[in-house]
Chains A and B, each alone.
Chain A
Amino acid sequence: MKANPRDVNTGTYYMDGDVAAGHGALAAGCRFIGGYPITPSTEAAETFARIAPKAGAVFIQMEDELGSIASVMGASWSGVKTMTITSGPGYSLMMEIIGLGAMIEAPFVILNIQRGGPSTGVPTKTGQADMMQSRWGSHGDYEIIAISPDSPQELFDYTIKAFNLSEKYRCPVMIMSDECVGHMSEKVVIPPAEEIEIEPRRFYNGPKEKYLPFKPDQDLVPKMVKAGDGYNLYITGLVHDERGYPITNQKEKGKRQQFPTRRLVDKIRLNADKIIELNEEGMDDAEVVVVSYGISYRVAIRGIEKAREKGIKVGNLRLITVWPFPDKKITELASKVKAFVVPEINYGQIVFEVERCSHGQANVVLIPHGGAGVHNPDDIAEAIEYAVKEKKKIRKVIEWKTRLEKFVFEGGYKLNK
């Protein structure tokens, strides 16, 4: 299905990432955003609020982030595409209801323009420390999809992709961008509507009395209807059967309780190959592979250039989709390369996934960053150089001492013995 021309402000612009995401949401067919302003994501909500009324879409500033995400769940089941926009502290508040969304299989998108944390942290500067939270933030077992754009153009393109994925798999989709990309102004091309592919909702159109809201199709995703269409829906956050009714029978509970959640997990895990999008370059003869995402990828490009100038063979793997994690790809590479180098703006999150998938075959080097800024490409180049030279297999994540860390902490804290 193509985008509706009414929703697409075709043209070539110079705009920041947040604004591009607002345009992307509308182009994707988003009809409702419930949001609560928070730096550095506010411009995205503001943009949507400005352009939405001309396309018949609504923005409401809710009373808090809990209200925002709950309203998004409601709007999703009313039959429209929907999204909320937030950053660190707001994202934390939303966690409980993200679990509800996974459970009732409401398609929705969250744009998280990450900032430095924890707590209020550094509201106006960048961070990449919510990556694990997006995967594990709500209680219980569920799977989500997370993508990490690296430019304003991508915030437009991948916001549309996020909507498409959420409609296709009926799960929470997080756009895990960061302040740097959100507030970076670059050229953004918004193509004509007929060039934008959008995924329509999977509506059920069989006989009314036969509809089972949680009976999956071949790909494990069930079809959806709209609230108020006379299907006598019963949708609950309790563990439920295919009809949606809670499983209350104590005998059945023990036997059947795990199965509904098994599907929530498997509909993403078994479809992972279709979902995952990666960008790889220079892999053929690589001795070291740099694994990065979001703004860290753009910084890594320069670091890799510097290492290549010294004749080192470096591959560049970018995780466009961070969740589900590309386990297979990393394991496959681990048997071929000496080491992985992972620059990320936190003290180690995705690096542990890389270590898990490398199964001890390759060394793993973390280049940490405390946030409020990006890496120095020289650090990345030096870490690559070290990784190539290191002969020993080191059975833990090696933490690279960056210039910044050496300067501020003089090589790191030590406990007094």
Chain B
Amino acid sequence: MNPIITAFANGIKKSGVELSNMVLVSDIPFEPEIIKELGVDFFHITRGRAIAFGTGLKLGNPDLKIVAFIGDLMTLGGNHLVHSGRRNMEMLVICVNNFVYREIAGTPAPSVSPGFSAFSTFEKPFNAPHLANSCGAVFTARWTALHTNDLTNSIANALDKRGFSVIEVLSPGPNFYKDINQIDSELLDFYYKNSVTKNNEDTRNVEITPGEKIITGEFTDKEKPTFIDTYNAQLSKILGDKFIPHGGQSGGD
């Protein structure tokens, strides 16, 4: 987790985002020291609901910059991911993918590839960047936690984008994972050595398959009106002068 936080801190610095406007929502409890260091507001909430919680924050105060750090993006959080992509709800989602549930030894997440869990899961995993891209995300990327510079750049790029952005970060599993799978501490190194960067690759081709190179890079980068843009446009059209546009960068209250 720590290299990801470092990349995140550097990413914020690199982007032009005001720190005081930034709110982190996560289903993973962070160390209070990290939040103190980062100087942002932090909400640790129920599993998988960070995107929905962030939606409320954003619509309650459109000036906020929302970042959702999610472990449980594609299971409990699946529906929120799909629909926020469709709406183009303005926020950055960082999916920390270590293929297992942290506190439940050896339980495979739906992002795990066959051969990676206690009894070798046989289910087909999600291809997170492709899922996000298909749902309408304006920015998708995947890096391993060791690609610190690339990850920093992608986080800065995504923070500067208006719209729904998803970055998948492959991170080493916790101790449970190692014990059960007998994968030693070189897992991270394994990721790094076995990955190849292909920017702008079609997300259909970036599935993680055992025995093949993991494809990293920035895959999607497009412009689309955000939820608040379309909300303001639609209601102004119908209500005319009676409508009070929803504020922030997008509306101008």
Contact = CB atoms under 8 A, between A and B. Distances in A.
A228 B20 contact: yes
A75 B56 contact: yes
Contacts of B39: 232
A114 to B, nearest CB: 24
Contact of B57 (A63, A227, A237): A227
Contacts of A58: 59, 231, 246
A71 interface: yes
Contacts of B21: 228
Contact of B45 (A53, A67, A73): A73
A75 B59 contact: yes
Contact of A63 (B41, B82, B235, B246): B82
A238 B43 CA distance: 11
A79 interface: yes
B102 to A, nearest CB: 14
A97 B46 contact: yes
Nearest to A226: B61
B83 A63 contact: yes
B22 interface: yes
B67 to A, nearest CB: 12
B156 interface: no
Chain A interface, >50% SS class: mixed
Contact of B64 (A73, A227, A233): A227
A229 B55 contact: no
Given A53-B235, A230-B20, A246-B29, A71 B56 contact: yes
B53 interface: yes
A212 B10 CA distance: 28
B183 interface: no
A246 B30 CA distance: 10
Nearest to B61: A78
A53 B52 contact: no
Contacts of B35: 232, 234
Interface in A220-253: 226-238, 243, 245-246
Interface string A85-105: 000000000001100100010
Contact of B52 (A54, A70, A228, A237): A70
Nearest to A67: B52
Contacts of B64: 78, 227-228
A54 B239 contact: yes
A67 B83 contact: yes
Contacts of B36: 232
A32 interface: yes
Given A63-B79, A67-B83, A71-B59, A54 B29 contact: no
Contact of A60 (B29, B41, B55, B80): B55
Interface string A43-66: 000000000011110101011101
A73 B44 contact: no
A53 B40 CA distance: 31
B137 to A, nearest CB: 15
A74 B56 contact: yes
A117 interface: no
Interface in B45-85: 45-46, 49, 52-61, 63-64, 79-80, 82-83
Which range holds the interface residue count of chain A? 35 or more
Contacts of A55: 244
Interface string A369-394: 00000000000000000000000000
Contact of A237 (B32, B46, B80, B253): B46
B56 A234 contact: no
Given A56-B253, A238-B29, A66 B23 contact: no
B23 A238 contact: no
A176 interface: no
Given A66-B49, A227-B64, A238-B29, A233 B56 contact: no
B191 interface: no
A64 B48 CA distance: 13
Contacts of B57: 74-75, 77-78, 227
Contact of A32 (B29, B60, B79): B60
A71 to B, nearest CB: 3
Nearest to B246: A58
B190 interface: no
Given A55-B244, A78-B61, A235 B43 contact: yes
23 contacts: A32-B59, A53-B235, A58-B246, A63-B80, A64-B79, A67-B52, A67-B83, A70-B52, A70-B56, A71-B56, A74-B43, A74-B54, A74-B56, A77-B57, A78-B59, A79-B61, A82-B60, A228-B22, A228-B41, A236-B45, A237-B45, A246-B29, A246-B32
